[in-house]
Structures are given as C-alpha cells and as structure tokens.
Amino acid sequence: MTQETPWYKDAIFMELNTRAYKDSDADGWGDLPGLTSKLDYIKDLGVDAVWLLPIMPSPLRDDGYDVSDFCDIFPAYGNMDDFKTLMKEAHQRDLRIIVEIIPNHTSDQHRWFQASRDPNHPEHDKYRDWYVWSDTDQKYKDARIIFTDSETSNWTFDPLRGQYFWHRFYSTQPDLNYDNEEVQQAMLDTVKFWIDAGADGLRVDAPPYLFEREGTNCENLPETHTFLKRMRKFVDEYSPETLLLSEANQWPEDVIEYFGDGDEMHMNFHFPLMPRLFMALAKGDRTPIEEILARTPDLPEGCQWGTFLRCHDELTLEMVTPEERQWMWDTYAQDPKQRINLGIRRRLAPLVDNDQRKILLLHSMLLTMMGSPFLYYGDEIGMGDDIELFDRNGLRTPMQWDASFNAGFSDAPTERLYAPVISDPVYGYQKVNVAAQEADPHSLLNKVRHLIAIRKQHTVFGRGDFYWRSFSFETKAVVAYQRKWEGTRIVVLNNLREVPVKGWIPETAEKFIDLLSGETILPGDYTLPAYGFLWLQPVGEKANIPSGPNAPQPGYLGSDKE
Ligand code: NOJ
C-alpha cells in the first residue's frame, strides 16, 4: 500500500534539537513545552514538518543517539504527556512531527545491553544474543571505522562478559544483533510505540549497518534491505500515512536500494549532492553538481529525496573522492579544529563568510533543484558555531531568540545552560537573533521566509522532473535548470560567481515572470548579478531562436535540448 497523499513531496522540513530550542522551566535545557511555545514561529517560517533530534532517555555520549530507553522521553525534555501536547498543538497548526528511531545500536546503559553483558544478570538468558559478541576482534575487518577521530576499532572488549562487542559508532553504542528475530521485533515495537504516540514520521538513523557478514564492508547488505522492507510493510499496514525517512549516507547507486521498488523507505537524504553545492559555489563552476546529478537515478513512485545544506552533524565528506575531501578541507576548514572525522564541523553562515548573497544562493538551489528541503534550526537567521565545544556540539548551541539575557532561550543562570549561547561579535545573540531579524525587512530571516513562501506556491519544485538548461555558453558559472510537472515549468538560474555573468535566457516563452520579485523579464540577453538567482515562470510559448550578443550560435542549443 502506498501513501494516498504523499504530503512529504510538497513539504518543507526543519530539523531541530529540543534541548537547544526553548527552555520553559529555567533549568538551562530546552524542553518539549518550550518547543511547543515556538510552533507559531516555525509555522510562520513556512515549515510543514519538524524533525526532532533524539528525545529519548540517554546518557548523551552521542548526544541522544545513544538511547537507554526507546519508549520514553529524556527527563529534562519533559514526559510523554508533554510530547502528546506538542503533537496536538502541532497538528492544530497543520505541522507534522518526525521523531528519531535508532535501530542500529543502543547506549551501553540500555538495560538490554546491561543484561547481555552480565552473565549474572537475571535477564541474561533473554538478552545474551541481542548484541554482536565475539571472542576475537579480528572479524569483519573490511568494515570501515566511521568516527575516525575517536575510535580505532569497531570492537571493544567487555571485561564482564569476557568478549568483544561490535559497534559502528562510539564504543558506548553497542550494535544490536539483527540476526536475532527478537531484536527485529523489538525495533518494530519501537516503531509502533512512536506511531501510537502520534508521530507523523520516523527518521531512521544509520540504516546501512544493521547486519554484519564476513568478507563484506558490512554496509547495504541484502539482509538489511529485507529488514527495512519488513519495517515498511508494518508501517503500511499499521499506519500508512507515517513517513519513513532514511539516513543512508551512501553513493546514489547504493542509496537507490533504500527505496526498494517503492516498498522500503519513502525518503532518503541525498548526501552526495550536499558537499557538491559548496564545492560548486567555491569553484564558481557547476561541474560537481552536474556530475552527481548524472549519477542520480530516478526514484520509484511515491519516493522522494531529502536535500539539505547543513545539519546537526559535521558537513560530511564521506561521499567525495579523497582529493575532493582535501580540497573541501583546505577551502572550508583551514583551522584544523574545524575538522572532525571525515567532515567539517561548521554552520552554514560561517562556512560562507557570513555572506548573505551566498547563503541565499545556496537556499535558492536547496529549494528548487530536487526533492524536499530540510532546514537546520538557526541557519535561517545565520547563527554561528563554537568549535571549542566537544564533538559536534558547537553546531547545537541555544537558539538565539532575542538580544535579552541568554538570547531569550532560558531564564536559568547562564552557567547552568547546557551549552553557552554564541556571543562573539559577528554571530553573537546580541546581533544575530529572531526578534531583530523579524523587525528588519531586509534580514536573512525575512528573505529565507520569502523564498520558502514562493517555493510552496509551486508544486513543481517538489514533484517536477529536472532538465538542465543553458544560460551562459562561455562559462560554467551558472547552474541553470528547468523543473516540469503536469504542464507547468519553471526555469531557475543561479550564478555561482562573485561577478555578474552575461548570458541568454532561452526564447522558449514570450516573457517570463520573475517569481521572486513579480517583475516581467523578456527572453534574450540578460546579466545575472554576482551570486544572483532567478526563478522564472514562462508565459506563452515561443520558438527557441537565438538572438542577441550573448546568444548561442545558430545550431548550438547546448544543454537546452531535453
Ligand atoms: C547519525 C546521526 O546523525 C549522528 O549524529 C550519530 O552520531 C550517528 N548516526 C550514530 O547514531
């Protein structure tokens, strides 16, 4: 059964950390009631669905991705009643809420692991085989280490059990054993629990690593897909409107498997596209985007890409070549402290030198190129980061609501905040905050809001086919494409360079409406300003006859051909 109304194809998503959003009880930690009080802001931004970073109990060794109880709420965030209130208030505003499930692993504090590791535990017999145990650490040598900065092996010895346990992430996050049917069932029970609690969707963390097999890299194995299809079947039968959003950080040819034949995950993030947007911008050359889109297969019916610029993790450089990775580090992370694992731990605004033109240009591509866009909380006001904080926590600092005490985030004494608010002269809350930007018509917030509002008026952006177009026939500076859906088409031009680029708007219409300004633009010669972009809706049809100094030579229509 497929979804009758694939709402996620038209949705704008926003990812946020409950802890970082709004503290309602002055303990220094954001919480569910605090988040509920900010739903109007989220709605006004144009967001349709909020993806919550993990909200379950956890010792926070991996910021909540180390879960110690899959069916409860982290106490500082509130309780299940608070979650239900959040759901009710969200639904009243036509907002959806996506929660995390983390099927691959638990915290080492989870009672399942405690029972599994301890032969004297009363429930040891039940949980003995729920994790991947071995007498040797020499198995599965072909599996890569993901947290390269902190782990040297995927095996850790447990003295109590006298065996090694397998973990793809931190050694405090033992992997569950999916060869055990009871584990598979327990994860389906977790899915059911959150659907029953009202969640509209589940973001499925790190799906590629569920199974291990000797002689493989232990990623994307057929058994993994079989289990994910089982999860989908359960969801389709139990709650067909529930979205499964998968986080398979893989190359397009491997990611496509996570959609199955439309019977696995509804959505998956397009990880390889993301660094290439930044690469193309810094090079002033669209080639990296062209190359990855050429490798991107069409999706089965009912499926959708999730696209993003930044998220709560490092800007991952796993899906680029080693040379490209080095180039990205040299370009975007000159300070070694900005690097972590195979990525860059910086927020959007600092990555692009706080240049509003570049931030908006990246949003133009995010909102029009393909799939459904994911915003990361705080990027809409250009928040900064704090690389002095541990791990990726510098990207997860308190939301900056206003210029008052603690950025309007919390009434707790400053030293009790879970993390310091950003207060440097450039990105500090005194300057960068929601209240100030709401009052300024030229603020980043208002411009991002405008782009989102226009995107939402045109279904073609979420559903349409993609075709390259040509703008300048001399340079690769412009990312020009057309989206087409059910008789509608929109042409989008994005200038990647800091200089104006002369080009030629295809004469395939009598005129174009610039959707962002409402102005009329005639086809033919046009100069796109530095980092400028246009979303053009054609009016009337006209033969494509090149003319004017910037037009292509007769007979050369370049990539305008479909
Ligand atoms: C992906 C999450 O996005 C990341 O934050 C986490 O550390 C790993 N999965 C492990 O759960």
The per-residue pLDDT string of the chain (562 residues; one tens digit each, 9 = 90 and over) reads: 456 679 999 999 999 999 999 999 999 999 999 999 999 999 999 999 999 999 999 999 999 999 999 999 999 999 999 999 999 999 999 999 999 999 999 999 999 999 999 999 999 999 999 999 999 999 999 999 999 999 999 999 999 999 999 999 999 999 999 999 999 999 999 999 999 999 999 999 999 999 999 999 999 999 999 999 999 999 999 999 999 999 999 999 999 999 999 999 999 999 999 999 999 999 999 999 999 999 999 999 999 999 999 999 999 999 999 999 999 999 999 999 999 999 999 999 999 999 999 999 999 999 999 999 999 999 999 999 999 999 999 999 999 999 999 999 999 999 999 999 999 999 999 999 999 999 999 999 999 999 999 999 999 999 999 999 888 877 899 999 999 999 999 999 999 999 999 998 887 899 999 999 999 999 889 999 999 999 999 998 877 677 777 876 654 444 444 4
The dihedrals phi and psi of 112, each to the nearest 5 degrees, come to: -60, -45
Least Cα distance to 418 among 64, 82, 52 occurs for 64
Question: Relative to the CA of 247, which ligand 1 atom is closest?
Answer: 1
CA of 54 to the centre of ligand 1 (A): 10
| Pocket flag, ligand 1, residue 245 (CB < 6 Å) | no
Tell me, what's the pLDDT at 559? Answer: 41
Give the C-alpha separation, 547 to 542, whole Å. 13
Q: Tell me if residue 247 is catalytic.
A: yes
CA of 343 to the centre of ligand 1 (A): 13
3-class DSSP state of 113 = helix
- Which residue out of 52, 146, 169, 268 has the highest number of ligand 1 atoms within 8 Å of its CB and is therefore the one to mutate? 169
| Pocket flag, ligand 1, residue 175 (CB < 6 Å) | no
Tell me, what's the pLDDT at 2? Answer: 54
Q: Which two tokens stand for residue 433?
A: 């905050």
Tell me, what's the pLDDT at 550? Answer: 80
Tell me, what's the pLDDT at 474? Answer: 79
| Pocket flag, ligand 1, residue 169 (CB < 6 Å) | yes
Note the residue count of the chain: 562
Give the C-alpha separation, 552 to 546, whole Å. 6
Give the C-alpha separation, 549 to 290, whole Å. 26
Tell me, what's the pLDDT at 506? Answer: 81
| Pocket flag, ligand 1, residue 205 (CB < 6 Å) | yes
**At a CB cut-off of 8 Å and minimum separation 6, what does 434 contact?**
41, 381, 399, 400, 401, 402, 408, 445
Is there a contact between 49 and 11 (Cβ–Cβ < 8 Å)?
Answer: yes
Active-site hit among 205, 264, 314, 385: 205
Give the C-alpha separation, 148 to 169, whole Å. 9
| Pocket flag, ligand 1, residue 62 (CB < 6 Å) | yes
Give the C-alpha separation, 178 to 176, whole Å. 6
List the strands of the sheet with 533-539, edge to edge: 465-468, 478-485, 488-495, 533-539, 511-514, 520-521
**At a CB cut-off of 8 Å and minimum separation 6, what does 246 contact?**
203, 204, 207, 228, 258, 264, 265, 267, 268, 269
Tell me, what's the pLDDT at 553? Answer: 62
In Å, what is the CA distance from 434 to each residue of 38, 378, 438? Answer: 12, 9, 6
In Å, what is the CA distance from 196 to each residue of 68, 184, 235, 479? Answer: 20, 18, 11, 44
3-class DSSP state of 198 = coil
CA of 170 to the centre of ligand 1 (A): 10
Residue 415 exposed, middle or buried by CB count within 10 Å (0-12, 13-18, 19+): exposed
Q: Which helix (H) or strand (E) holds 365?
A: helix 356-368
Question: Relative to the CA of 206, which ligand 1 atom is closest?
Answer: 9
| Pocket flag, ligand 1, residue 164 (CB < 6 Å) | no
CA of 127 to the centre of ligand 1 (A): 24
- Which residue out of 148, 311, 313, 374 has the highest number of ligand 1 atoms within 8 Å of its CB and is therefore the one to mutate? 313
Question: Relative to the CA of 169, which ligand 1 atom is closest?
Answer: 10
Q: Which two tokens stand for residue 57?
A: 């109990």
If you take atom 5 of ligand 1, which residue's CA is the nearest one? Answer: 313
| Pocket flag, ligand 1, residue 102 (CB < 6 Å) | yes
Which one-letter DSSP state was computed for residue 297?
P
Q: Tell me if residue 253 is catalytic.
A: no
Question: Relative to the CA of 313, which ligand 1 atom is closest?
Answer: 5
Tell me, what's the pLDDT at 554? Answer: 55
Is there a contact between 116 and 124 (Cβ–Cβ < 8 Å)?
Answer: yes
Which one-letter DSSP state was computed for residue 87?
H
